[in-house]
């Protein structure tokens, strides 16, 4: 048997309307507003999830002590 660490990445997405002089300015303004918590994404903004195993290791059975070792 093996043991795996699996990363779960959830993606949240929302479209907002920003008035700006250019696309780049709109992106900067949106990021600033998000940093200032004017946009807080939640469960209603969920659009998907990805699952990726990032490590694995073999699980070795635990050794049982012999009866005579336990009596010592």
For the chain, domain boundaries: 2-58
pLDDT value of position 25: 98
Reported pTM = 0.68
23: Cβ–Cβ under 8 A, 6 or more apart, which residues?
A: none
Helix, strand, coil percent values for the chain (each to nearest 5)? 30, 35, 40
Kindly state the helix (H) or strand (E) to which residue 43 belongs, with its residue range: none
pLDDT value of position 62: 75
pLDDT in tens, the chain (72 residues): 899 999 999 999 999 999 999 999 999 999 999 999 999 999 999 999 999 999 998 888 776 666 555 555
């Amino acid at each position: 048997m093996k043991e795996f660490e699996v990363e779960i990445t959830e993606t949240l997405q929302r479209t907002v309307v920003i008035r700006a002089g250019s696309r780049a300015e709109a992106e900067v303004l949106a990021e600033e507003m998000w940093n200032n918590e004017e946009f807080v994404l939640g469960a209603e903004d969920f659009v998907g999830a990805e699952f990726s195993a990032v490590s694995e290791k073999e699980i070795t059975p635990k050794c049982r002590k012999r009866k005579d070792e336990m009596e010592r």
